[in-house]
Amino acid sequence: MRRLLILEDGTIFEGEAFGAEIDVTGEIVFNTGMTGYQESITDQSYNGQILTFTYPLIGNYGINRDDYESIQPTCKGVVVSERARLASNWRNQMSLDEFLKAKNIPGISGIDTRALTKIIRQHGTMKATLTDKLNDSMDHLRDQLRATVLATNNIEQVSTKTPYPAPGIGKNIVLVDFGLKHSILREFSKRDCNVTVVPYNTTAEEILTLNPDGVMLSNGPGNPEDVPEALEMIRGIQGKIPIFGICMGHQLFSLANGAKTYKMTFGHRGFNHAVREIATGRVDFTSQNHGFAVDRDTLPECLIITHEEINDKSVEGVRHRDFPAFSVQFHPDAAPGPHDASYLFDEFLEMIEAYQTELARG
């Protein structure tokens, strides 16, 4: 069956349908990763987006039980150049086509993803529609697309509604869920932490009653300015408890301290992004998935830039001058991607230990 991909600028691609048989509209973005399509599709940071993979062959190792970053993905659709007809891997449980059908997500293959990526890089991310209505008026379909207003409550859609535990015997961590990846939980589990996951709109008072040793601000989708309640929460806990923010958590931490954010032309999505630690000159290759960034020129005196992206010099990490709190724009948990920066979880726990030692000394 044939399927259309229609872009907001009027460009139309025709390809082969796979996955669910439904029409969807969302923001179209591209991911430059060569592997890890299951982790990417199930990453809640893609909520509301149509995900294009630049790597030419997707689906060759199928879907397995180990690589979920969430159980119910909320991306709108998947665009690939070529979909593998046969999945070959000892962990394979189902094909990509079967998985997308089960999750009610449409896909399209046979698309010139290189041409599509060039359009997005030139004009920026834009709205797009996947549709099977090949016989409808193209002008009508374009008008419908342009008239569509995309949701702005992305974090509300993906955050847990009730708190839940990920038990351990080590440090007590409260993880604020803005659309977390399961790999963050895995990293804390490796370090024996006792984690309590709470909704995005949990107040500072509610967090402090849990008596945490530290607070993690997770990744998540959308515009950080759409969750002002999170800024109040961050202001209410910083200085009282160590904080570590990742991706959306980094942007919210920066906003809470007076910085501003901006929408990038096409964002960073992939795991080949080189990031330099300013203090040491160390370069890590990092996993990233974000369309907004912290504006360097608006950073307040209380925040120090710790990391920057080598290619575009965007802010990739900050640390508070006075409080035990820091954040990074990239994903030290990877999944998919290199684990160069996983040491940051250890630095967070070391920060907690140092803070508690200082408190004990009075």
41/71 same-domain check = yes
Q: Looking at 43, 177, 213, 333, which residue is catalytic?
A: 333
| Same domain? 240 vs 349 | yes
Q: What percent of the chain has pLDDT over 90?
A: 97
* Average pLDDT of the residues in 339-346: 97
pLDDT at 292: 98
Exactly one of 75, 193, 213, 247 is catalytic; name it.
247
Active site residue 140: no
Contact 228, 54 (CB under 8 A): no
Q: Quick count: other Cβ atoms within 10 Å of Cβ 36?
A: 21
Domain range for residue 267?
155-361
290 is annotated as an active-site residue: no
- pLDDT tens sequence across 230-249: 999 999 999 999 999 999 99
Same domain (yes/no): 90, 187 = no
Q: Is 247 a catalytic residue?
A: yes
Question: What tokens were used for 69?
Answer: 């970053």
* pLDDT at residue 263 is higher than 80: yes
Q: Are residues 160 and 144 in the same domain?
A: no
User: Quick one: pLDDT at residue 66?
Assistant: 95
Q: Are residues 175 and 145 in the same domain?
A: no
Overall domain count for the chain: 2
* Integer Cα distance of 114 and 107 in angstroms: 17
List Cβ neighbours of 18 (8 Å cut-off, separation of 6 or more): 83, 96, 97, 100, 106, 107, 108, 109
Annotated binding site for L-glutamine, which residues? 45, 220, 222, 248, 251, 289, 291-292
Q: What is the mean pLDDT of residues 94-117?
A: 98
Average pLDDT over residues 206-211: 98
The domain boundary residue, chosen from 91, 117, 150: 150
pLDDT, tens digit (0-9, with 9 covering 90-100), for 121-134 = 999 999 999 999 98
**Virtual torsion, Cα 175, 177, 179, 183, nearest 10 deg:** 20
CATH of the domain at 337: 3.40.50.880
Indicate whether 72 and 161 sit together in one domain: no
Boundary-marking domain end, from 127, 150, 173: 150
